[in-house]
Structure 1
Amino acid sequence: MLTIADARGFDSDIVLTTQATAETVKDAIHDAAQRLGNGDLFFCTYSGHGGQVPDRNGKEEPDGMDETWVLYDRQLVDDELYAIWGEFEAGVRILVLSDSCHSGTMTRDAAEIFEAVVPMIVERGLIDDDNPRTKCLPRNVQDVTYTQHRELYDDIQATHRTSGDVDLQAAVLLVSGCQDDQLSLDGQRNGLFTQTLRQVWHDGQFSGPYSRFHKEIVALMPPTQTPNLLPLGGGIQRFVREQPIAISP
């Protein structure tokens, strides 16, 4: 992703391992919200485990769970991210690419299909790993973590509005590596979503709007992992018609 960002002329910051704390990530996004104005593009990518915590501040989630990014010191709840997206002014475009997954459980049938498809994915060279892992936080780890830190996560939600209540002035395009009830595969260098995105990107030769970009990525993915495209906020229809990851509209 850094290669793509550099090729497009972005000023980039990478936050890895012990530096990737919740406050560091939030502060970086908050700083961007203060600096960027009409016509600017904020490009945010995340690659790592996804998790869930019980949704205590609203009923916007059909499964009763809020999604999270699993950072070094704690999980970053999606309500926190939506609050910061709400700080960006109108005319700013926000592109979020999240190569993670949040589903800690699958139905038995879905799990069997997933296991059957993985060898095909490896054989076709869709991922750079003979024994790929998934990017979700295991359900037992997720439950124990929430139980041990319940006050922390409940307080976070108590002090943040639900995502549906945030007034988004900026255009926000969220692209995730799979659907809420699916698992994302991870390889040695890139996750399957990231690797496929780079293939479609083709060193910047891709031409077309975000909708086509997403469609072509989906076409190359296995049926067990379908990237999701979620457009939100003001001016979003104009944003989705633009050339992907382009600073100039």
Structure 2
Amino acid sequence: MATGLSIHIGLNQVEPSKYDGWSGDLNACEQDANDLAQLAEKSRFTVTDPLLTRAATADAVISAMNAAAQQLVSGDILLLTYSGHGGQVPDLNHDETGDRLDETWVLYDRQLVDDELYELFGKFAKGVRILVTSDSCHSGSVAKDLPQILSPRELGKRFNTEKPDEVVKRIRVMPLPVQSKAYKKDRTAYDEIQRTHTAKDLAQIDASVLLISGCQDNQTSADGLVNGLFTSTFLDVWSLGSFDGSYRKFHREILKKMPPDQTPNLFQAGTPNTAFARQRPFTI
């Protein structure tokens, strides 16, 4: 019988001393992690203790992933969820052909570079399914313009405020000035990570990875009072397990409920597995 294992990460803030004084305060990320852990438990996954804020360090995330890779075998499934800020560091191993920036998860003590995450995926056995949800964003340039793009009514509806400064604080992305300062502060460490890790596009991944992210790379993800906008919609479509359909249908139904400037992405990596995308979500 197949095994389902889940790891849930949610950060309502980060350690300011690691990010040049920026604490990255958010409202709903811990709740996102807890609610998705509850969903996983009801779907009969073995749920590891959620990694919340101070516990969500880079070492803790890497350790949890390594432990899962050692445990899961062909036919098993890992559910990995992240809720928090997205960030970017300069791409030094040239796997990003567009903006020359590597995307990151902004963990409590440092950023986890996408090359690291893909290397962790590569440690899983062939035949393992990995489902990743990421309620975060990476487009700092779009984030700063959003208050000018949306009407006050839409800002109030989505962010519970019409004040531009408050809106920016409620977007799940590390501001560009902070990205620059954080990278310069620990440039040696981030450059070493890329020097010692294979570019994500060249990573050998035998497992099958299905990623549902909160928005496109050039968009932003909104925080909320209870859940992030993407996670809230995700849970609404799942409807306590009454949803009937495939991952692709699940993604389409989420899209229908999201605003046009935050369109969740469905992306596959690793070994192709068309049957995975056709399964009912959270099938073990």
TM bracket, shorter-chain basis: over 0.9
Structure 2: gaps of 5 or more residues: 1-35, 162-166
- Count of residue correspondences: 241
Post-superposition shift, 1:100?
Answer: 0.2
Rounded Cα–Cα distance in structure 1 between residues aligned with 2:253 and 2:83:
20
Task: Give the partner amino acid of 1:55.
Answer: D
Counterpart selection for 1:188 from 205, 225, 233: 225
Q: Closer, same or farther in 2 for the Cα pair 1:122/1:211, shift >3 Å? A: farther
Deviates further, 216-225 or 58-67: 58-67
Question: Aligned residue for 2:139?
Answer: 103
Rounded Cα–Cα distance in structure 2 between residues aligned with 1:22 and 1:190:
23
Question: Aligned residue for 1:70?
Answer: 106
Contact 2:88/2:179 (8 A) holds in 1: yes
Counterpart selection for 1:17 from 53, 73, 81: 53
The C-alpha deviation readout for 1:64-94, integer Å capped at 9, x for no partner, is 0000000010000000000010010111000
Question: Aligned residue for 2:153?
Answer: 119
Q: TM-score, normalised by structure 1?
A: 0.92
Contact 1:40/1:91 (8 A) holds in 2: yes
Q: Percent identity?
A: 49
Rounded Cα–Cα distance in structure 2 between residues aligned with 1:214 and 1:224:
16
Q: Closer, same or farther in 2 for the Cα pair 1:17/1:108, shift >3 Å? A: closer
In the alignment, structure 1 residue 212 sits paired with structure 2 residue 249: yes
Q: TM-score, normalised by structure 2?
A: 0.81
Contact 2:143/2:171 (8 A) holds in 1: no
Where 1:96 maps in the other structure, the secondary structure is strand
Contact 1:46/1:97 (8 A) holds in 2: yes
In the alignment, structure 1 residue 57 sits paired with structure 2 residue 93: yes
In the alignment, structure 1 residue 222 sits paired with structure 2 residue 253: no
Rounded Cα–Cα distance in structure 1 between residues aligned with 2:96 and 2:245:
33
Contact 1:50/1:137 (8 A) holds in 2: yes
Where 2:92 maps in the other structure, the secondary structure is coil
Task: Give the partner amino acid of 1:244.
Answer: P
Post-superposition shift, 1:111?
Answer: 5.6
Task: Give the partner amino acid of 2:142.
Answer: M
Deviates further, 55-64 or 83-92: 55-64
Contact 1:86/1:166 (8 A) holds in 2: yes
Name the Cα RMSD after superposition: 1.7
Where 2:51 maps in the other structure, the secondary structure is coil
Question: Aligned residue for 1:174?
Answer: 211
In the alignment, structure 1 residue 93 sits paired with structure 2 residue 129: yes
Q: Closer, same or farther in 2 for the Cα pair 1:107/1:122, shift >3 Å? A: closer
Structure 1: gaps of 5 or more residues: none
Contact 1:69/1:76 (8 A) holds in 2: yes
Question: Aligned residue for 1:7?
Answer: 42
Rounded Cα–Cα distance in structure 1 between residues aligned with 2:131 and 2:144:
34
The C-alpha deviation readout for 1:165-215, integer Å capped at 9, x for no partner, is 111111100111001110100012210000000010000000111111001
Q: Closer, same or farther in 2 for the Cα pair 1:89/1:52, shift >3 Å? A: same
Contact 2:246/2:281 (8 A) holds in 1: yes
Question: Aligned residue for 2:275?
Answer: 238
Rounded Cα–Cα distance in structure 2 between residues aligned with 1:169 and 1:38:
10
Q: Closer, same or farther in 2 for the Cα pair 1:106/1:18, shift >3 Å? A: same
Post-superposition shift, 1:236?
Answer: 2.2
Rounded Cα–Cα distance in structure 2 between residues aligned with 1:145 and 1:168:
30
Contact 1:41/1:94 (8 A) holds in 2: yes
Task: Give the partner amino acid of 1:140.
Answer: P
Where 2:103 maps in the other structure, the secondary structure is strand
Task: Give the partner amino acid of 2:160.
Answer: D
Where 2:140 maps in the other structure, the secondary structure is coil
In the alignment, structure 1 residue 28 sits paired with structure 2 residue 64: yes
